[in-house]
């Protein structure tokens, strides 16, 4: 298992060697420094903790700064984001992982946070059709009845209702790597990934089925 933390740059399109137009997402992947190595014997599971991004050391808590110092990650700028990659390939503490760990043709699972939509009604949140817009229909975008008569005398759990929509963790599986630009730490993956431009992504090898 290989993995990196990245940032969604945006979407564009490229041509392959046959002249086929391919929609791709541009991801800034790495460089990521290995900040901790978890083992089954000591921690109960196998993982690599990696750091991405940069922030001033004065904005990092002493606990995090001390944790990073164990991996010889020190200085005026420290990683801003820490994530774990389960069952990752072996790597030394303090090693730097870059986009070239992936190659064109690899299959990836990309984890991100969807765009936040705030409080939304049932038409936008659950794709309800709504009511008619004429002949006195005063409920064009309303949910309609939510009750169940005398029994059970309550609204069933899980009923689709207005509420908060978006800002959910989502994984898109089996995205193909179209191109790796190692010198820029950029990878192009076919299709769309969750979240807005600038959002943080976890990119890892697709799970074998």
What pLDDT digit, counting tens, does each position of 77-91 carry? 899 999 999 888 888
17 and 48 in a common domain: yes
123 and 53 in a common domain: no
Output the pTM of the full model.
0.84
What pLDDT shows up at residue 208? 67
What pLDDT shows up at residue 150? 86
The count of other CB atoms within 10 Å of the CB of residue 121 is 16
Give yes or no for residue 3 having a pLDDT over 80.
yes
What pLDDT shows up at residue 209? 57
**Count of domains for the chain:** 2
What pLDDT shows up at residue 17? 87
What is the average pLDDT across 88-97? 86
The runs of H, that is alpha helices, within the chain are 40-43, 62-69, 122-126
Alpha carbons 183 and 181: distance in angstroms, whole number: 6
148 and 50 in a common domain: no
140 and 47 in a common domain: no
174 and 158 in a common domain: no
| 27: Cα separation from own chain's centroid | 11
What is the average pLDDT across 23-38? 92
92 and 68 in a common domain: yes
CATH of the domain at 99: 2.40.30.10
What is the average pLDDT across 111-140? 92
What pLDDT shows up at residue 91? 84
Higher pLDDT, 30 or 57: 57
182 and 141 in a common domain: no
191 and 103 in a common domain: yes
For the purposes of burial, counting CB atoms within 10 Å of the CB of 155, is it exposed (0-12), middle (13-18) or buried (19 or more)? exposed
What is the average pLDDT across 85-110? 89
Instruction: For residue 81, give the 3-state DSSP assignment.
Output: strand
What is the average pLDDT across 58-84? 90
62 contact partners, CB below 8 Å, separation of at least 6: none
What is the average pLDDT across 138-149? 87
Question: pLDDT-based confidence at 11, cuts 50/70/90?
Answer: very high
Range of the domain at 151: 117-165
What pLDDT shows up at residue 200? 94
25 and 75 in a common domain: yes
What is the average pLDDT across 107-133? 94
Share of the chain above pLDDT 90, in %: 61
Average pLDDT, the chain: 91
110 and 128 in a common domain: no
Task: Give yes or no for a contact between 33 and 79, defined as CB atoms under 8 angstroms apart.
Answer: yes
107 and 122 in a common domain: no
157 and 107 in a common domain: no
């Amino acid at each position: 298992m290989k993995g990196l933390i990245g940032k969604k740059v945006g979407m564009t399109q490229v041509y392959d060697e046959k002249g086929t137009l391919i929609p791709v997402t541009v991801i800034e992947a790495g460089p990521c420094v290995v900040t901790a190595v978890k083992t089954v014997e000591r921690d109960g599971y196998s993982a690599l903790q990696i750091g991405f991004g940069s922030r001033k050391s004065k904005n990092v808590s002493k606990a995090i700064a001390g944790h990073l110092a164990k991996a010889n990650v020190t200085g005026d700028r420290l990683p801003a984001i820490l994530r774990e990659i389960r069952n990752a390939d072996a790597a030394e503490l303090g090693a730097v992982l870059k986009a070239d760990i992936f190659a064109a043709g690899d299959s990836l699972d990309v984890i991100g946070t969807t765009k936040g939509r705030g409080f939304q009604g049932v038409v936008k949140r659950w794709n309800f059709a709504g009511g008619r817009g004429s002949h006195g229909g005063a409920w064009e975008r309303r949910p309609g009845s939510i009750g169940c008569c005398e029994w059970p005398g309550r609204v069933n759990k899980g009923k689709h209702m207005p509420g908060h929509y978006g800002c959910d963790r989502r994984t898109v599986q089996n995205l193909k790597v179209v191109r790796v630009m190692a010198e820029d730490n950029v990878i192009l993956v076919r299709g769309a990934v969750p979240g807005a431009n600038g959002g943080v992504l976890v990119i890892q090898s697709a799970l074998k089925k």
